[in-house]
A and B are shown apart, each in its own frame.
Chain A
Amino acid sequence: MPNMRMDKNPMPAQAPEVRITNVEEVTLGYTPEMAIDEAKRCLGCKHKPCMNGCPVNIHIPDFVARVAEGDFEGAYEIISLTSSLPAICGRVCPQETQCEERCVRGIKGEPVAIGRLERFVADYMREKGAAAGIAPERNGHKVAVVGAGPAGLTAAGDLAKLGYEVTVFEALHTPGGVLMYGIPEFRLPKAIVQHEIQKLRDLGVEIVTDYVVGRSGTIDELVEDGYEAIFVGSGAGLPNFMNMPGEGLKGVYSANEFLTRFNLMKAYKEDAATPIQHPTKTVVVGGGNVAMDAARCARRLGSEVHIVYRRSLEELPARKEEVEHAMEEGIIFDLLNNPVKVHADENGSVKAVECIQMELGEPDESGRRRPIAKEGSNFMMDADCMIMAIGTSPNPLIRQTTEGLETNRKGCLLVNDDEMTTRDGVFAGGDAVTGAATVISAMGAGKKAAAAMDQYIQKKVKAA
């Protein structure tokens, strides 16, 4: 008998006033009892609409059915068939626009908490110290992956499972990409990310850190070194600024810099070697998930935090859950405002952010109502720190150092239906192709590219 309760089982969480004093994970995850009870809400639909909403096509009703039976190991095996990084996806996927959006139970009540169940299963197995997968027999072919973010790691995992000898080249000192430097510890504990990456190493994936493709070596050199296919998952890490006066002042950060210092370099720790400003009053510019992350990090450094966004609450691109968490933590939303100038004190540090009020006009090409500045409405906001979270673009290094790699005018790599770039044998996916998007869409692209790379190499083998 399915559990016909309308609501999801809530997930325990740290109280807001407690969690702003630490960097521990905010949400605490289901207990086995909560997970079994929630899993029983699944109707086990034959046509599995939820599965179509999952970019990596996890066999959702099957794994949920195992959870309902208390067979967590069996559930994990089913997830592992198609996903290499479940502890991460279960935490950071926007399920409300993916699997859970299509859940039949969501029509009259809340959908089944698929993300929370996936997370529970992955965490349960990790805590149990589940044995790593066994490295499959090698097929004798070498492939390279550029960038150890979600797209690259997913491609690497899938290719290793198919028997390829996979080498991942990563520019930073730690693999994980945005999972390590961008998404904060309190949303995605770094130990969990490294555990998932260790599982890939156990599958035989080699990860070379401190290797900047485009500088340490080029795509052409990888081809010469005998890599038969190459996946470029170098992301969209180049931060955008607004080109307004005062952006060069001390105390103005890109969200990437602020988050990298906080997350990757652990600058929040008192004895950290990497410094970070401990602001009194912070203005975060932007309304996406990155803006929420930056704001919540600044809050944990003891700052009063304002989000300045040029549209209204309805248009905020961040996940609803993230906005709610931010509000619970006391972050102030100054909507329909836009900064125009940063003012300095006598030391060249930020003293105030001059903003202008906005109103919404007619919808633009994107369908969102266009913000229009209200002339003469300028006002000052005192602040000693400003964090720019208005988006990122693909890093130009690889396209600048590789002949024949075409991009669109935004610098995104062009790919065909098989995720192949304009260079034969060079595939790409994730933010490097789409511009800044989500972790799970990058994983989906990595998965698709891995399958295409396998076909590409197998076709060549047959032709030879």
Chain B
Amino acid sequence: MFKILRKEVLNPTVISITVDAPNAARRAQAGQFIILRVDEDGERVPFTIADADPEKGTVTIIYQVVGATTRKLMELEEGDQLADFAGPLGKPSEIDGENVVVIGGGVGCAIALPTAKAFHEAGKHVDTIVGFRNKDLVILEDKFRNVSDHYYLMSDDGSVGEKGLVTAKLEELIKSGQKIDKVIAIGPLIMMKFVCQLTKQYDIPTIVSMNPIMIDGTGMCGGCRLMVDGKMQFACVDGPDFDGHKVDFDAAMSRNRQYFEKERHDYEETCNLLNQKEAA
């Protein structure tokens, strides 16, 4: 069992938890992830490592409540236990390139932060562009500022930062003649796809962190397979970072919807169940 040591609500649907998991903490690096099960009957779900402290033996993950499992996870408080917490999994991000732009979309910012931090600590020039739907959803602003040479905050409705999409800001930077060796985009598939379409025009190497459906996370099932440069890759062992210009995003988006109906049904059931419990 793995104890939740700290819980912090970052915005109405995004929560950070720090878990006592020495084996996962010891060798964790930016870009890697863990797989957890909330309880003995739970499903296995991947979450990117947002932070890890090898000395204290702790791993922090940041999650958004989107379905039954994350809804159940939200119910847990400090001191509660998770049934399973395995990791670190996947390949660490490659920290190379002198001038990089790290782009985070929505809860993907939680995943972009450790990567930005790793570049910053390696002495690189790091600009970050983060995007949210509106001001209530903004997370980790101070932490991003601390590891960025420039921090650009975008919102869809203009309620905070600048109005517009992350791609608009990126294009502005490119057109201003800023030197960019590499772009790292982390967030919803659709955002990563559009970032890649843009950078391809300017021939800027772009790394994306893919988020397919996973079960074991150790390379034994291929549920997370993607087509990259026409070759089949398993995101859990060959990634999750890939050359964004070679990823087949449309196929990846289609695969991620495979269990959509069951997921929605389970979410509604879980919500009803938890609401009844609260009412009782």
Residues of A within 8 A of B (CB): 171-173, 181, 208-212, 215-217, 237-239, 241, 243, 247-251, 253-254, 256-257, 260-261, 265, 272-275, 277, 347-349, 395-397
Contact = CB atoms under 8 A, between A and B. Distances in A.
A261 B215 contact: yes
Given A171-B86, A173-B86, A250-B257, A273 B221 contact: no
Contact of A250 (B85, B219, B258): B258
B232 A254 contact: no
Given A243-B232, A250-B258, A237 B89 contact: no
B33 to A, nearest CB: 10
Contacts of A395: 218-220
Nearest to A254: B222
B46 interface: no
| Majority secondary structure of chain A interface residues (helix, strand, loop or mixed) | loop
B44 interface: yes
Nearest to B40: A173
A210 B218 contact: no
Given A216-B24, A250-B255, A274 B220 contact: no
Contacts of A237: 218-220
B69 interface: yes
B221 A256 contact: yes
A45 B46 CA distance: 56
18 contacts: A172-B216, A208-B23, A211-B86, A212-B89, A215-B87, A237-B220, A238-B220, A248-B227, A250-B254, A250-B257, A256-B222, A257-B222, A260-B220, A261-B215, A273-B41, A273-B68, A275-B266, A348-B255
**Nearest 8 A-B pairs (CB), nearest first?**
A237-B220, A348-B254, A257-B221, A210-B86, A273-B43, A275-B259, A274-B43, A173-B84
B182 interface: no
B216 A273 contact: no
Nearest to A169: B23
B23 A216 contact: yes
B262 interface: yes
Contacts of B255: 248, 250, 348
B105 interface: no
A277 B223 CA distance: 13
Nearest to A211: B23
Interface in B41-59: 41-44
Nearest to A173: B84
Contacts of A348: 251, 254-255
Contact of A216 (B88, B262, B263): B88
A181 B215 CA distance: 12
A172 B266 CA distance: 24
Nearest to B213: A275
Contact of A212 (B41, B218, B254, B258): B218
A217 B266 contact: no
B193 interface: no
B150 interface: no
Which of A251, A272, A273, A277 neighbours the largest number of chain B CB atoms within 10 Å of its CB? Answer: A273
Given A215-B87, A215-B89, A248-B232, 12 more contacts: A172-B218, A210-B84, A211-B23, A216-B23, A239-B222, A250-B254, A253-B223, A254-B223, A257-B222, A260-B221, A275-B266, A347-B254
